[in-house]
Amino acid sequence: MTKILTVPERIRLFKVINRVHEAMYGWKIIYWNVWNGDRIDIESDIRFDSYHKKWIPLDKSDEGRYYFHDDEGRDISWLRGIFAWEAYNFPHLNPYKYHQYNEPVEEDFISDSLGKRIGPDVGHPIYCLETTFDVRQRKDDGKIWISSNWIYHYATVSEFGNDISDTLSEAARGDEKISEELRKKYEDVAWENGQWFKKALERYFEGGQLNAKYWAGGYLFTASKEWRIKTLEQFNEARDAEEKHFSNTLEEFIVWFKDNGISLGAKAEEGLSRRMRSSYAFNPRDVAERWCKLLVEEDKAEPSDVHLWWGGEPNRDSCYALLTLFFDIDPDDVGTRSFDDRVSRNLRALINIAEKDDTWLSSFRKYAPNVLRATFS
């Protein structure tokens, strides 16, 4: 039977990861639960009280709430179909890559052998390069996943909506009345599809099979299975298989319109196919290829256990996860030298890759002095 870590065991895991990170880089991770806004100094067991603007002790009885709940007391777990629990975000800050928020204040910076960087006594807000990673535990084998940002259909949902709108306009051939009727019909059937999917999703999260699909949530762009890719040869195999899967799913999507009484016509169907193929090529296919090339490049410098995950897993918001980079570890190894070595090697690889992609995997974020001082002190 799969062992799922208790809250105290998870906190111990976070502390070990933080210590490995600090040994590698020289500074800490300040956990940020984006769902309730709390920042936690993992090693010191303190959290930042945003109301009183100071760090205060984190009571043991409150650890579960501040690490794993949102501001309404709900579990923050997002991908409940495959993970038993989730924790995010763990931000890695790069003090050598920053944008100054105001006029330069030299006292905020120091220099070392690697160059000019944010100092431990910073007194002003600074935009710092941030790479976040998440920690989760699989339901099936109990492995701990440490992953980069996940790309969801959220990233292209506006383009998807625009593509549908353009298709309906094309089907109406300039007739405003027909256009409004088609839009109303589409909105109705899409809403019904969403309601049906939510019910199926609840059963799936409780351990059942997922026998439903949600088009507006990005089902069209999901992979046919979970791919764990390490090499360009494996990527090419996945790409070719998923091109066929996408074509078949696109045909199914067009049939879905017809089955729900939405007649597009041949020209509009061709337009829909063209638009969706373009969207699919942009994300996930081309993003997956770029990440795979970055992974291969990183592995040439130093081999890692990081893999590209390409799949299609719905979250609790009925939106499909499409891509991430990850490595897994055995929770029974926590506290051993082999665990530390595995996390050190692979976390560095994950961060190195992420810092080369500031579109999807890293970004500059404004940080207040209290968080910067806690990180770099």
Q: Is the dihedral of CA 349, 351, 354, 360 positive or negative?
A: positive
Q: Confirm if 269 and 256 have CB atoms less than 8 A apart.
A: no
- pLDDT of the residue at 2: 87
CA angle 346, 348, 36 (to 5 degrees): 95
CA angle 15, 331, 152 (to 5 degrees): 85
- pLDDT of the residue at 150: 96
**Both tokens assigned to 14:** 């976070």
Q: Is the dihedral of CA 221, 224, 228, 233 positive or negative?
A: negative
Least-confidence region, from 101-110, 155-164, 279-288, 300-309: 101-110
The one-letter amino acid at 240: D
Q: pLDDT tier at 373 (50, 70, 90 boundaries)?
A: very high
- pLDDT of the residue at 104: 65
- pLDDT of the residue at 38: 86
For residues 212, 81, 308, 226, the Cα torsion angle rounded to the nearest 10 degrees is: -50
- pLDDT of the residue at 185: 96
- Per-residue pLDDT, averaged over 279-302, amounts to 97
SS3 state of residue 333 = helix
Instruction: Check residues 157 and 105 and name the one with the higher pLDDT.
Output: 105
Tokens 């906190």, located at residue: 11
Q: Residue 277 and residue 244: Cα distance in Å, rounded?
A: 12
- CA distance readout (Å), 196 to 160, 213, 318: 20, 9, 11
Q: Sheet containing 46-49: give its strands across.
A: 30-33, 38-41, 46-49, 54-57
Q: Residue 239 and residue 74: Cα distance in Å, rounded?
A: 38
Cα Dmax for the chain:
70
- pLDDT of the residue at 101: 67
DSSP state at residue 162? H
In this predicted structure, the answer to whether residue 112 has a pLDDT above a threshold of 90 is yes
Q: How far is the first Cα of the chain from the last one, in angstroms, to the nearest whole number?
A: 42
DSSP state at residue 221? G
Judge if the upstream peptide bond of residue 89 is cis by omega within 30 degrees of 0.
yes
Q: pLDDT tier at 156 (50, 70, 90 boundaries)?
A: confident
Tell me how crowded residue 74 is: count the other CB atoms within 10 A of its CB: 12
